[in-house]
Amino acid sequence: MKRELPRILTLVTGVFLALQYFVPHRASATVYETLMDWLIIVGIFAILLGIAGLVRLHSGKIRSRQTNWPFSIVLLAGLFGMIFLGFWGQDLGSPFVTAYFQVLNPVQATMFAMLAFYIASAAYRAFRGRTLLATILLLSAVIVMLGRVPLGELLWPPVTIGSLRIPGVGEISDWLVNVPNLAAKRAIFVGLGLGGAATALKVILGIEAPHLRG
Amino acid sequence: MPDSAYASSRTVDLAATAAARARIVLRAASAVALVVLAAVLTALPCARAVAPVGQVTAADTPNDPGRSIDVAWTLSPDDRLPDPGDSLALTVLAYRILRAGPGDSLVEAGTVLAGQASYRDSGVEDGVPTIYRVETVGSDSSLALSPPCAPAVARGQWFHGKKTVLLIFMLAFCGAVIGLIQQARRGRELYVRPIAGLAAVDEAIGRATEMGRPILFVPGLATAGDVATLAAYTMLSRVARKTAEYQTRVRVPCYDPMVMTIAQDVVKSAYLDAGYPEMYQKDDVFFVTQDQFSYVAAVNGLMIRERPATNFYIGKFYAESLILAETGNYAGSIQIAGTDEIVQIPFFVAACDYTLIGEELYAASAYLSREAPLLGTLKGQDWGKAAVVILVLAGTIAATLGWQGFVDFFATQ
């Protein structure tokens, strides 16, 4: 029963939610919204489990003086400090909001800013014309990058020779993004949609339930 | 008659004559003024009120949850742009939609600007006959009320008619998948093309065992119900079973606490299936944080400190994908990534050794296990794709030839 009951619940709920999509009646929408509310409530309890696991993990590290255990103190101090400040007050100008905007936001922005340098290093490694496909990738990347900056239009503007018009890098870049690239994206979208539906079907029918084995 | 009497008499006669002449002039001037005024009034077009709308109809809104009625009418003849230079022409400013239930007085349901000939009233009760009247508001503030329409009753529909084609396709797809699963169970051989990223999983786990370093499995940043996360659970189960057999540790930092609870069960079950339940350590599958870049910072720190030999990025990723992949590359890990976020796939392709593109992510379970039901599902996906290709080609031809009926059949709005 330990495995059968979850499978039955999954089957009933999965079939109901799949059919609910086709039923616009208010009764159906009400049940759907209730299920979504339950999901949020379960998620809140799951957060408590997550926090409990986090506290247990790091307090164990502090107790046993594992490598880098002082960072566990910083983590727990930040966790409980923000919880305490949050209970104290969440108005604009309160310590909680000040800590959020003066500490967390700049740190998040720093991580996001590093992305530019990571892109540069990944591009340096990946865009090497060793094979035909890699060369095409390299040229496409150069054209699209140039087409996105004003300098590209200066370096490669549209040129008209008699009745022949050679498009500029901006137009070629737009064509690359909007035609072959978009075609490939749509093809992947179709595959993803069908794959997702098949995966959901496998879980609903109980063909695949990795958390219910053993 | 004495002279004084004659003079007085003459004065009176002259005054009477002047008065008579003044009366005549006054009457003439009045007549002229009346004529002019009549001409002016006749020339002015605002002499009449605005015309009301034509026939008003009301019907239940189709394919909706209820409490909604669509009202339509033919525009007032005065609903037009005035001729250039004719700024005094009578036009329509707006239409006020008025509704009333049985025995109720008219209340305003809404207002629309001139030029609109329909209105969706979303404030009605289900099952109550409701009538509507449309009041035209003219540019001269005149009003004209239409006759009431036939009563309409709002009801919720139990089936969305526009989604019929979706239901047909869904049932056909599910039927094909189930049929192919049955065929696979009966022993039919189903070919699956080689996928480099999946073929490298065993090799990657073996590498970690040889180097004595752990494996890092990142299940993505989506919730537990997301399809990409479901695929991640499947892959995690296979990886965990292999790591149990190879006596290698697998670390699973989780973004979502519900994902953590399910991932713990997945890993525990996998270790139990492999026959090594004692190897399972609860702290190996742990919650980090639900903040995107804080999660990335934590996982990066894990990679730099513990130097895993193999990194798996399976699930839904966003802007942090390249940060994770580049840090893993710096740490010297072999990396296998798979995501359904199309925008992040190029970053994984650039930075990882193997990338599962699109539906290859969902094929992982079938590919790794070779179980008949899973292979049958994979074949069903391929049949679905073939059907989509045929419909796209047919739709392109139909749209080019102007067969709008074929195109409209597939519209869901």
pLDDT-based confidence at residue B80 (cuts at 50, 70, 90): confident
Residues with Cβ within 8 Å of A210's Cβ and at least 6 positions away in sequence, in order, are B233, B234, B236, B237, B266, B269, B270
Query: What residues of A are in contact with residue B350 (Cβ under 8 Å)?
Result: 122-123, 125-126
Q: Which residues of B touch A202 (CB under 8 A)?
A: 365, 373-374, 377
pLDDT at residue number B369: 80
- The one-letter amino acid code at B355 reads T
Residues B107 and B201 grouped into a single domain: no
A188: nearest CA in chain B? B358
Q: How confident is the model at residue B8 (pLDDT cuts 50, 70, 90)?
A: low
Q: How confident is the model at residue B225 (pLDDT cuts 50, 70, 90)?
A: confident
What is the domain extent for residue B121? 56-145
Both B282 and B213 in a single domain?
Answer: yes
Q: Is residue B82 part of a domain?
A: yes
- Domain assignment present for residue B154? The answer is no
How high is the pLDDT of residue B295? Answer: 95
Query: B100: which strand partners?
Result: B131
- Is B372 inside a domain boundary? no
Q: What residues in B contact A133, CB-CB < 8 Å? A: none
- Write down the pLDDT at residue B222: 93
pLDDT given at position B85: 76
Is B328 in the same domain as B254?
A: yes
Residues of B in contact with A39 (CB under 8 A): 225
Residue B267's domain is classified under what CATH number?
Answer: 3.40.50.720
**pLDDT mean across residues, chain B:** 87
Q: Residues B306-327: pLDDT tens digits?
A: 999 999 999 999 999 999 999 9
Q: In this structure, are residues A165 and A158 in contact, taking their beta carbons and an 8 Å threshold? A: yes
Q: Which of B291, B297, B322 sits opposite A115 (nearest CB)?
A: B322
User: Does residue B11 lie in a domain region?
Assistant: no
DSSP secondary structure code for residue A212 in this structure: G
Domain CATH code at residue B78? 2.60.40.10
* Best residue in B230, B265, B278, B318 for a mutation probing chain A (most A CBs within 10 Å): B230
- Looking at the complex, does the CB of residue B291 fall below 8 Å from at least one CB of chain A? yes
Read off the pLDDT of each residue in B392-406 and give the average, rounded to a whole number: 89
Q: Which two tokens stand for residue A124?
A: 């340096």
What was the pLDDT predicted at B373? 84
With left for phi above 0 and alpha for psi between -120 and 50, is residue A206 left, alpha or beta? left
Judged against a pLDDT cut of 50, whether residue B120 lies above it is answered with yes
Query: Do both B213 and B141 map to the same domain?
Result: no
Q: Is the pLDDT of residue A142 over 80?
A: yes
B317 and B230 fall within a common domain: yes
Q: In the predicted model, is pLDDT for residue A214 greater than 60?
A: no
Distance (Å, whole) CA B371 – CA A72: 44
B213 in a domain, yes or no?
yes
Q: Where among B79, B113, B145 does a domain terminate?
A: B145
Check pLDDT > 60 for residue B400: yes
Contact A107 B293 (CB under 8 A): yes
Q: What angle do CA B366, B368, B373 make, to 5 degrees?
A: 25
User: In Å, what is the CA distance from B164 to each residue of A17, B17, B169, B290, B406?
Assistant: 16, 97, 9, 39, 14
Per the CB < 8 A criterion, the answer to whether A191 and A199 are in contact is: no
Residue B79 lies in a domain: yes
**Predicted ipTM of the assembly:** 0.87
Q: What is the 3-state secondary structure (H, E, C) of chain B?
A: CCHHHHHHHHHHHHHHHHHHHHHHHHHHHHHHHHHHHHHHHHHCHHHCCCCCCCCEEEEECCCCCCCCEEEEECCCCCCCCCCCCCCCCCCEEEEEEEEECCCCCCEEEEEEECCCCEEEECCCCECCCEEEEEEEEECCCCEEECCCCCCECECCCCCCHHHHHHHHHHHHHHHHHHHHHHHHHCCCCCCCCCCHHHHHHHHHHHHHHHHCCCEEEECCCCCCCCHHHHHHHHHHHHHHHHHHHHCCCEEEEECCHHHHHHHHHHHHHHHHHHCCHHHCCHHHEEECCCCHHHHHHHHHHHHHHHCCCEEEEEECCCCCHHHHHHHHHHCCCEEEEEECCHHHHHHHHHHCCEEEEHHHCCCHHHHHHCCHHHHHHHHHHHHHHHHHHHHHHHHHHHHHHCCHHHHHHCCCC
Measured between CB atoms, which of B158, B349, B362 is closest to A196? Answer: B362
The partner residues of A165 in beta bridges, in order of sequence, read: A160
Across B114-123, B192-201, B314-323, least confident range: B192-201
Same domain, B222 and B348: yes
Nearest to A111 among B261, B268, B293 (CB): B293
Instruction: Choose the mutation target among A22, A54, A61 for the interface with B, i.e. most B CBs under 10 Å.
Output: A22
DSSP 8-class letter at A164: E
CB-CB neighbors (< 8 A) of B322 in chain A: 115, 118-119, 122
∠ Cα B230 B235 B236 (to 5°): 90
Are the C-beta atoms of B207 and B308 separated by less than 8 Å? Answer: no
Q: Residue B326: CA atoms inside 13 Å, Cβ hemisphere, count? A: 22
Q: Give me the pLDDT at residue B268, please.
A: 92
Establish if B346 belongs to a structural domain.
Answer: yes
- Per the structure, the count of domains in chain B is 2
Which sign does the torsion angle of CA B398, B399, B401, B404 carry? positive
Q: Check CB contact under 8 Å for B294 and A121.
A: no
A186: nearest CA in chain B?
A: B342
On the question of pLDDT at B1 being above 50, the answer is no
Answer yes or no: do B104 and B221 share one domain.
Answer: no
Domain boundary among B111, B145, B179: B145
Domain boundaries defined on chain A: 1-88, 89-126, 129-208
| pLDDT score at B90 | 81
Looking at the structure, do residues B357 and B269 belong to the same domain, yes or no? yes
pLDDT band at B376 (very low <50, low <70, confident <90, very high): confident
Do B283 and B353 fall within a single domain?
Answer: yes
A195 and B362: CB-CB below 8 Å? yes
The mean per-residue pLDDT over the stretch A185-189 comes to: 91
**pLDDT tens digit sequence for B34-63:** 656 555 555 554 457 889 998 999 999 999
Per-residue confidence (pLDDT) for residue B7, from 0 to 100? 53
Give a yes or no: residue B204 inside a domain: yes
